[in-house]
Structure 1
Amino acid sequence: MKTVEQHIRDVLDLVEPLEPIELDLLRAHGGVLAEPVTSAVSLPQFDNSSMDGYAVNADDLAGASSDTPVRLPVVADIPAGDVSPTAVRPGHCARIMTGAPLPRGADAVVPVEWTDGGQATVAVDRPVRRGNAIRRAGEDVEKGSTVLQRGARLGAGELAVLAAVGRASAPVHPRPRVVVLSTGAELVEPGSPIGPGQIWESNSYMLTAAALEAGCAAYRRGFVGDDPATVLETIEDALVEADIVLTTGGVSMGAYDVVKEVLSRLGTVRFDKVAMQPGMPQGAGTVGESATPILTLPGNPVSSYVSFQLFVRPALRRLRGLPPDPLPVVHARLTAPVPHSPRGRRSYLRAVLEYDSGGGSTAYTAQPATRQGSHQLSALADTNALVVVPEAVTELPEGSVVEVLQLPAHP
């Protein structure tokens, strides 16, 4: 059988970062910056006040106290956005608002709380140090400096930086468009009546949500039955809106494994047995004239979910222009034994990972779920990690230190 690492490499060979496009800021949200951004200006662009108060010459207030306040004539009001030239001579001051430009001759701002709030003259009851409450030009960003690096994921903070340096748009690798399709004649749409031998379809919801959580634009195409012509037509129709297609079901060795039957004829999709549990049957390749990547995942819900985290997630990261990093790994002590693991296949066991402040060098514990069947979906909602049992290991006692993959947290 094929190794997990080899299948990851084969999947990643199918994808490249999406071509950058220039998008306005809100549409660029969630994208990955395709080139570094430098600032054409300094931030702040001018010395300004960080609070409401009075712009003063600090020397004028050297002897101020609550018993002997210093009174200064107020020669101007300076609101934020004021562009008129203003100067303050020694022995005078100007009332100033937060964000307003500092007038010439002033070297400090007195908070209004230190004064009587006067408008014609103001009484100040304490001295002030030079530079107090002043935001100096360039103290945040120097003109010509890089404010965002290539590969930055554009969230709220990054968009704020772009806007602050005057950028109305940015070149980004756009969010990949992921189309998800389930197959199976036994599937019924949730909310519809169910008959004998039928099940409500859940995989496409799970995979679409996982793709959304991975930073993609994801579209659920629902499910199709086991008719080969319909399956192929549905996949081909999906290509117009897809940068990558995910299918679930129909890839094993059964007589009605229609995805494998249909795509094998194309000669561009390879189906393998990967030495893992759950998720042994896997397929990967391209479809259509555009050679759109397609990853065909098993139909058992847990197999499909684990396959997404191991194989699909790194591919989506590469499409986004990010390093195709695997799930983060920690080491943890098992709080229960693992009695059975198939020799020759790497097992991924759902588990609850917890931080153990008294754990010494191993700061985590992992409690394997009691329900590990590939069809037992309910345990997925209760777990946050996958315990890795190597291919040559068939059982692990309680207290064993194991490698654990941390599943993504809900956004």
Structure 2
Amino acid sequence: MSTRPEIEADAQSFIERIFEHLNVAEDVRQRLACAKFSAQVSIPVRMDDGTLEVFQGWRVQYDDTRGPTKGGVRLHPKVSAAEVTDLSFWMTIKCAVVDLPFGGAKGGICVDPKRLSRLELERLSRGYIRAIHDLIGPDRDIPAPDVNSNATVMGWMADEYAQIERRQVPAVITGKPIGLGGSAGRVAATGRGALQVLQLWASREDKSPQQLRIAVQGFGNAGYHFARLAHQAGYRIVALSDSKGAIYDKAGLDPQPIWEHKNQTRELKDMVYCDESVCEQSKAERISHEELLELDVDVLVLAALEDAIDDDNAERIKAKVILEIANGPVTRKADQLLADAGVVILPDVLVNAGGVIVSHLEWVQNRTGDYWSEETVEQRLDERIGKAAEACFARAEAEQVSLRTAAYLQGVERIADAMSNQGTRTYFNARSD
């Protein structure tokens, strides 16, 4: 177990530039430079063939000044302590940007879940909760879904926590199946929130959905729901990609039948680990992942993993707008190159906040026992992310900064205010009469 790991150098540099715009105490700078708590755990799992495998997992609680920490659990073979720390930092900022009473956290297990049976995945999920049980709770740290984890996995985790506690504690985990205390509207929340931000930006620019051609990198849960809802709203989805390939049709694609075909080889569609690819859509042109990123489109949606655009390919990006549904899909250097080229970036800490907003609503419903309709949840999601987006747009315009900078200013300002209310060097050095 280790304490206070630092975020990556690029993120440190960026947050220092944010501080230049704000009059914050040195105490705030020091506290936001490192995670408050980090734990690494080993998770032994008995495999179906009788062998034992030990998987490495992490849980990082970055800052809890504004409330209990909140953040997903990522299942991926490239998960590391450094990645989880960066993700927990972004969660801290994100929760503050949309003014939720949470701090930021993140979890991860280094595993390729696609090679596990469902029984092995359940054992791993429950083993992770046994390992971090003492670190989480409704008033301390609330895990949720992330890459390769979903409602089924969250249900297993919530049940394992309940068995250890010998009582039902539904508010300890969000993103659960509705029958196990989940919230209506949670599965589509990230994609829905991202579309809401795009719609508000388009309205400010006097652009109609019919005018905008969209390419979507990453056709997982968030990318699918964004594409589905955008198609319904009248946007033209011209390209889609998943881990196995990409497809393109200038006339437009309907995401729904593509998603259904991609998942039809699995009896349980919700398990997300499908065998098929978007490339099985025979009528569309197959293109490479690189070609999708470099398409001449109006909006490029990044809904896969970090660092999709870096300094190697930034200058070949032709999209006028980038919508960041994934966390950190554009490196800091690429971000500057794109800004210099006039590309508008709608930032991740705002765009993908729909998931944590509805997770907050699920947490509230679990604690009160009063469950709301999907219409009510969607209305509250739209209101909160809409208010945050409008504030970011207005701040960017007023202060002549990028939307990413405006979002960070909004988030860091709220965190700094909370920290300052606990007392700073200036306060404690003041002499009373």
Instruction: Look at both structures and tell me which one has the larger radius of gyration over its CA atoms.
Output: 1
TM range (shorter): under 0.3
Q: More strand by proportion, 1 or 2? A: 1
